[in-house]
């Protein structure tokens, strides 16, 4: 009983906060402050399911109490109905309690953000570039299945195909909250197409998933940005190589964690429209700075966690793709599947679900529930 009272105390506090936020987001002074308005709207959406669960929880407790009282009725039909209601409510209550505990895990405020993904071929030469291309295709298929949109910002092709590097944006619902687990080193074991002796090689590619920063989250002195334009290469009709639609951005940024000034260089050839490419290059600049400024905070979290599922070192090997055995293994949670073709075709949700469960288990320990 003490446990349920403790849970209700937490829910009552969140109900009060929900009512407060409901009023605040209609306040003209709050609406005028875009940064605060966006933050409060996000909090409102996060609290809505918790408030609904609280309502159901209170109703279940009331139903159990009423059903127990009716068990003493003389009418056998009434007692039977009360017994059925009691059985149903008592079975649902512990399920709901677990659901509420999951809801009460402190949310990562970045989960709702869109992302910028970077895939780079690592050790393995041409084969690493081919694998980077395979990973890009895998994520594209996954995005299509989720109904998300993706757009390539820049890329550098490998000599035998694939990509030495490819950078793309993904937009949709809770993109970062889903894809954040993909950051790290992905290792492949297979016979490369360039191998004449049939030997299995091990190559790697790195994946970075960066939450896209909103304009008001990062301070940039746009007057200090140096811009260059150039002609885009590749297929694309008459516009290619004739119009300087590609943009190159240079910006000197002082790292607040180290005090070191770094030059950030970004190229964008995503569209044939130079102003749009400038806008997207600025978005990438904001995201890169946001990511670096928050890295110390992320490292501190990772140091406290045993799983380091979502915030681990990006240089850490997270997953192996073994083609001869048709096996994928995620080393963070010892998850293994023997359905490699489907996985490489974008069917990666089960792995992400298992990573989410492991991450939430760690966060529940931190919250001492």
Decide if 302 is inside a domain.
Answer: no
Decide if 149 is inside a domain.
Answer: yes
pLDDT at 188: 95
Q: Which domain holds residue 35?
A: 2-103
**What are the structure tokens assigned to 301, written together?**
């979290």
> Is the domain of 8 the same as that of 97?
yes
**What are the structure tokens assigned to 207, written together?**
């994946």
Longest dimension (CA), the chain: 91
| Angle separating helix axes 76-103 and 2-24, nearest 10 degrees | 60
CA 142 to chain centre: 13
- Average pLDDT by stretches of 10, the chain with 369 residues: 69 91 93 88 88 93 92 87 92 89 76 90 88 97 96 89 93 92 93 79 91 74 86 51 77 82 86 85 86 66 49 71 96 94 97 88 66
> Is the domain of 326 the same as that of 199?
yes
Is the pTM higher than 0.75? The answer reads no
The residues, any chain, with a CB within 8 Å of residue 78's CB and separated by 6 or more, are: 70
H/E stretch holding 250: strand 246-254
DSSP 8-state secondary structure symbol assigned to residue 49: H
**What are the structure tokens assigned to 254, written together?**
């002082």
The residues, any chain, with a CB within 8 Å of residue 327's CB and separated by 6 or more, are: 320, 321, 336, 337, 338, 340
Distances in Å between the Cα of 23 and the Cα atoms of 12, 50, 94 are 17, 18, 33
Decide if 45 is inside a domain.
Answer: yes
What span, in angstroms and rounded, lies between the C-alpha atoms of 349 and 65? 41
Structural domain count of the chain: 3
pLDDT at 207: 93
> Is the domain of 167 the same as that of 220?
no
């Amino acid at each position: 009983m003490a446990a349920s009272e403790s849970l209700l105390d937490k829910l009552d506090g969140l109900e009060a906060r929900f009512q407060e936020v409901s009023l605040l987001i209609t306040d003209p002074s709050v609406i005028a402050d875009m940064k605060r308005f966006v933050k409060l709207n996000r909090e409102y959406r996060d609290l809505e399911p918790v408030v609904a669960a609280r309502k159901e929880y209170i109703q279940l407790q009331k139903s159990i109490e009423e059903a127990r009282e009716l068990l003493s009725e003389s009418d056998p039909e009434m007692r039977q109905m009360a017994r059925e209601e009691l059985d149903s409510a008592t079975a649902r209550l512990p399920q709901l309690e677990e659901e509420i505990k999951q809801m009460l895990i402190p949310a990562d405020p970045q989960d709702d953000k869109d992302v910028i993904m970077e895939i780079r071929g690592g050790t393995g030469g041409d084969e690493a570039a081919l694998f980077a291309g395979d990973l890009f295709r895998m994520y594209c298929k996954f995005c299509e299945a989720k109904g998300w949109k993706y757009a390539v910002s820049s890329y550098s092709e490998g000599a035998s195909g694939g990509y030495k590097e490819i950078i793309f944006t993904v937009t949709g619902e809770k993109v970062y909250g889903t894809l954040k687990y993909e950051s790290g080193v992905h290792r492949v074991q297979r016979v490369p197409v360039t191998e004449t002796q049939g030997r299995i090689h091990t190559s790697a590619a790195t994946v970075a998933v960066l939450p896209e920063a909103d304009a008001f989250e990062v301070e940039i002195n746009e007057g200090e940005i140096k811009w260059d334009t150039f002609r885009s290469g590749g297929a694309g009709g008459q516009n290619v190589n004739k119009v300087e639609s590609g943009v190159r951005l240079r910006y000197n940024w002082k790292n607040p964690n180290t005090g070191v000034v770094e030059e950030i260089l970004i190229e964008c050839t995503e569209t044939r429209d130079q102003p749009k490419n400038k806008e997207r290059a600025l978005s990438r600049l904001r995201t890169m700075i946001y990511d670096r400024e928050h890295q110390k905070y992320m490292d501190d979290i990772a140091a406290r966690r045993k799983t380091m599922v979502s915030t681990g070192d990006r240089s850490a090997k997270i997953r192996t793709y073994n083609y001869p055995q048709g096996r994928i293994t995620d080393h963070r949670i010892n998850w293994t599947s023997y359905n490699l073709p489907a996985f490489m075709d974008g069917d990666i949700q089960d792995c992400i679900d298992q990573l989410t469960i492991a991450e939430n288990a760690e966060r529940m320990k931190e919250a001492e529930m």
